[in-house]
Amino acid sequence: MAPRAGLTLHPSDNRAEIDRARDALGLAAGGRRVVVVSSGDPGVFAMASAVFEALETAPEWHDLDIRVLPGVTAMLAAAAEVGAPLGHDFCCINLSDNLKPWEVIENRLRHAARADFAMAFYNPRSASRPEGFARALDILREECGGARLITFARAVSTPDQALRTVTLAEARPDMADMRTLVLVGNQATRRVGRWVYAPRRAV
């Protein structure tokens, strides 16, 4: 958000989301007009949940006028760029183990793969936890085989946008970072020219 007259910016670290939400609620309770900014959709792995989590412990703020304005989340923006890979049943999983243990992530990965969902992965790989995505790829190859299509959509809708679709057998952990949204197809997902799509009929 660009600075302008009358606007006060309060930058914060993305690891301090609850503190950021509490600060915003406190300012609003003091009569200020406050906007909590998230990329994508605020309700998908973003700040709306943090605001309501902070609100839960502060009944004095329950009557504040809070509005969640929808946006375009990364999985939908990425899917639109590559075709229609979410054209049938799908799920999305946050691969960060900052707020949940790896065992939970692995359990969800295995069940989603066995149920033949197309999958969208947020926060696949960071400098502080590079090993998690390698483990996720191993699990996916074990459950789905090597022929399944996987798309790496980096920095979608920016000048740095990069799209790459390979098979699980060809996928490497270093193809993803924290700016990458990863899409894994179901068993029916296919290529049509440069496009990737999931048929609407179940296999």
78-108 pLDDT, tens digit each? 999 999 999 999 999 999 988 899 999 999 9
What pTM was computed for the model? Answer: 0.88
Interatomic CA distance for residues 179 and 112, integer angstroms: 23
119-166 pLDDT, tens digit each? 999 999 887 777 899 999 999 999 999 999 999 999 999 999 999 999
Structural domain 1-71, CATH architecture? 3-Layer(aba) Sandwich (3.40)
Question: Taking residues 63-81, what's their average pLDDT?
Answer: 95
Q: Give the domain 74-197 fold.
A: 3.30.950
Helices (H) and strands (E) in the chain, counts: 5, 8
Comma-separated ranges of CATH 3.40.1010.10 domains in the chain? 1-71
Query: Going by DSSP bridges, is the β-strand pair 180-184/118-122 parallel, antiparallel, or unpaired?
Result: antiparallel
What does residue 113 show for φ and ψ, rounded to 5 degrees? Answer: -65, -45
Comma-separated ranges of CATH 3.30.950.10 domains in the chain? 74-197
Polymer length of the chain? 203
